[in-house]
Amino acid sequence: MAVKLYIEAIHDAILEEMRRDERVFVLGEDVGVRGGVFRVTAGLIEEFGEQRVIDTPLAESAIVGVGIGAALHGMVPIAEIQFADFILPAMNQIISEAAKMRYRSRNDWGVPMVIRAPYGGGVHGALYHSQSVEALFHHVPGLKIVAPSTPYDVKGLLKAAIRDPDPVLFFEHKRCYRLIKGDVPEEEYVLPIGKADVKREGTDITVITYGLMVHLCMDAAEQLAKEGIDVHILDLRTVLPLDREGIIDAVKKTGKVLIVHEDNKTGGVGAEVSAIIAEEALFELDAPIARLCGPDVPAMPYSPPMEKFYMLNSEKIAAAMRKLAEF
Amino acid sequence: MSTYTHEQLGLTKEQLLQMFYYMVLARTIDERLWLLNRAGKIPFVVSCQGQEAAQVGAAFALQPETDYILPYYRDMGVVLVFGQTARDMMLSSFAKAEDPAGGGRQMPGHFSSRKHHIISGSSPVSTQIPHAVGVALAGKMRREPMVAYTSFGEGSSNQGDFHEACNFAGVHKLPVIFFCENNQYAISVPVIKQLGCEHVADRAAGYGFPGVIVDGNDVLEVYKVVKEAADRARRGEGPTLIEAKTYRLAPHSSDDDDRSYRSREEVEEAKKKDPLVIFRRYLVDNGLLSDTEEGAIREKIAKEVNDATEYAEKAPYAAPEDALTFVYAD
Name the residue among A297, A291, A255, A256 with its Cα closest to residue A273.
Answer: A291
First to last CA, chain A: 42
| Partners of residue B161 in chain A, C-beta under 8 Å | 61-62, 65, 92-93
First to last CA, chain B: 54
Could you report the per-residue pLDDT of A78-118, keeping only the tens digit for each?
999 999 999 999 999 999 999 999 999 999 999 999 999 99
Active-site residue, B110 included: no
The answer to whether A28 contacts chain B (CB < 8 Å) is no
Indicate the SS3 state at residue A4. Answer: strand
Residue B139 C-alpha from the chain's centroid: 22
At residue A189, does pLDDT exceed 90?
yes
| Partners of residue A71 in chain B, C-beta under 8 Å | 134
What DSSP string describes B165-228?
Answer: HHHHHHHHT-SEEEEEEE-SEETTEEGGGT-SSS-GGGGGGGGTS-EEEEETT-HHHHHHHHHH
Angle between helices B13-38 and B52-60 (to 10 degrees): 140
Nearest by CB to B168, from A66, A97, A165: name it: A66
Mean pLDDT value of segment A12-29: 98
> Which residue of B91, B113, B161, B207 to mutate against A (max A Cβ within 10 Å)?
B161
Indicate the SS3 state at residue A113. Answer: coil
Under the banding of pLDDT at 50, 70 and 90, the label for residue B175 is: very high
* ipTM (interface pTM): 0.97
Do B328 and A166 count as a contact with CB atoms less than 8 A apart?
yes
What CA–CA distance (Å, rounded) separates B100 from B46?
A: 18
Name the residue among A246, A65, A175 with its Cα closest to residue B167.
Answer: A65
Name the residue among A143, A142, A94, A147 with its Cα closest to residue A119.
Answer: A147
Under the banding of pLDDT at 50, 70 and 90, the label for residue A1 is: confident
Active-site residue, B248 included: yes
Q: Which residues pair with A2 in a beta bridge?
A: A184
CATH numbers and ranges of domains, chain B: 13-313 (3.40.50.970)
What CA–CA distance (Å, rounded) separates B110 from A106?
A: 13
Q: Which residues pair with A78 in a beta bridge?
A: A26, A114
| DSSP state at residue A84 | G
Could you report the per-residue pLDDT of B30-70, keeping only the tens digit for each?
999 999 999 999 999 999 999 999 999 999 999 999 999 99
| Partners of residue A144 in chain B, C-beta under 8 Å | 328
| Partners of residue B175 in chain A, C-beta under 8 Å | none
Do A108 and B164 count as a contact with CB atoms less than 8 A apart?
no
Could you report the per-residue pLDDT of B244-269, keeping only the tens digit for each?
999 999 999 999 999 999 999 999 99
pLDDT > 70: what percent of chain A? 100
More confident residue, B3 or B265: B265
Please state whether beta strands A24-28 and B189-190 pair in parallel, antiparallel, or not at all (unpaired): unpaired
At residue B1, does pLDDT exceed 90?
no
At residue A123, does pLDDT exceed 70?
yes
Do B135 and A75 count as a contact with CB atoms less than 8 A apart?
no
Do B119 and A72 count as a contact with CB atoms less than 8 A apart?
yes
Cβ atoms of A126 and A90 within 8 Å: the answer is no
Do A105 and B112 count as a contact with CB atoms less than 8 A apart?
yes
Q: How far apart are the CA of A100 and the nearest CA of chain B, in angstroms?
A: 8
Do B327 and A142 count as a contact with CB atoms less than 8 A apart?
yes
Nearest by CB to A62, from B106, B135, B168: name it: B168
At residue B288, does pLDDT exceed 80?
yes
Nearest chain A residue to B174, by CA: A66
Could you report the per-residue pLDDT of B96-119, keeping only the tens digit for each?
999 999 999 999 999 999 999 999
Cβ atoms of A11 and A2 within 8 Å: the answer is no
pLDDT at A187: 96
At residue A241, does pLDDT exceed 80?
yes
pLDDT at A101: 98
Contacts of A316 (CB under 8 A, 6+ apart): A292
Mean pLDDT value of segment A69-81: 98
Mean pLDDT value of segment A214-240: 98
Active-site residue, B131 included: no
Q: Which residues of B touch A (CB under 8 A)?
A: 68, 70, 100-103, 105-106, 110, 112-114, 119-120, 122, 124, 127, 129-139, 141-142, 148, 160-161, 164-165, 167-168, 171-172, 325-330
Under the banding of pLDDT at 50, 70 and 90, the label for residue B286 is: very high
Q: For the full predicted model, state whether its pTM sits above 0.95.
A: yes
Name the residue among A140, A117, A139, A147 with its Cα closest to residue A129.
Answer: A117
At residue B4, does pLDDT exceed 90?
no
What CA–CA distance (Å, rounded) separates A180 from A215?
A: 9
At residue B330, does pLDDT exceed 80?
no
Under the banding of pLDDT at 50, 70 and 90, the label for residue A286 is: very high
Return mean pLDDT, chain A. Answer: 98
| Partners of residue A70 in chain B, C-beta under 8 Å | 134-135, 137-138, 141
Where would I find the beta strands (DSSP E) of A6-106? 24-28, 53-55, 76-80
| DSSP state at residue A186 | S
Cβ atoms of B96 and B317 within 8 Å: the answer is yes
What DSSP string describes B108-155?
Answer: TT---BTTTTB----SSTTTHHHHHHHHHHHHHHTT----EEEEEETG
